[in-house]
């Protein structure tokens, strides 16, 4: 049985420790309050954590703020999903998450320039969808962020089952 695009998405998280950092984010997707700009690695970690919490809560509004208009996700099965493929099922609450947490100690944030960064980690994702399917997966993911007009935005994700 093929799960909904949201359930197939399997995979974006940042460290739970970054939740505190996320509290400093205000306004648009990845901007910090004036005068409190964090280092890029901390900003991206916090934004990815904020996105992950939004996914778990089916918070389509926050997901919309963070995902780029041209966002693409590629799963280990070769399926691709765009921004609307993820936001739509969140709006209709196609899946409910019991778990959507990064495995402690697996997160790495790599900053490639002042305009690009990537987050990698392992994610535990578990829940139930309205079509009756369930999922309980551990996946590795890579999330790519770029800075557009001064704010970080999530442009590309890749997720595959842990081998």
Question: What confidence tens digit (pLDDT) does each residue in 20-51 have?
Answer: 233 333 334 554 444 456 799 999 999 998 99
Tell me the chain's radius of gyration from C-alpha atoms. Answer: 15
N-to-C CA span, the chain? 22
CATH of the domain at 92: 3.10.450.50
Domains in the chain, number: 1
Question: What confidence tens digit (pLDDT) does each residue in 106-131 have?
Answer: 889 999 999 999 999 898 899 999 99
In which domain, by residue range, is 12 found? 5-161
């Amino acid at each position: 049985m093929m799960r909904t695009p949201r359930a197939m998405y399997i995979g974006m998280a940042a460290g739970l420790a970054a939740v505190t950092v996320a509290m400093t984010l205000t306004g648009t997707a990845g901007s910090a309050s004036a005068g409190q700009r964090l280092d890029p690695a901390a900003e991206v970690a916090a934004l990815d954590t904020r996105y992950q919490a939004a996914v778990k809560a089916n918070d389509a509004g926050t997901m919309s703020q963070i995902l780029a208009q041209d966002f693409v996700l590629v799963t280990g099965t070769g399926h691709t999903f765009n921004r609307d493929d993820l936001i739509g099922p969140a709006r209709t609450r196609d899946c409910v998450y019991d778990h959507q947490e990064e495995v402690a100690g697996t997160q790495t944030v790599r900053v490639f320039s002042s305009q690009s960064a990537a987050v990698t980690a392992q994610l535990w994702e578990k829940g139930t969808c309205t079509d009756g399917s369930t999922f309980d997966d551990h996946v590795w993911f890579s999330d790519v962020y770029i800075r557009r007009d001064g704010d970080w935005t999530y442009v590309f994700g890749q997720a595959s089952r842990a081998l």
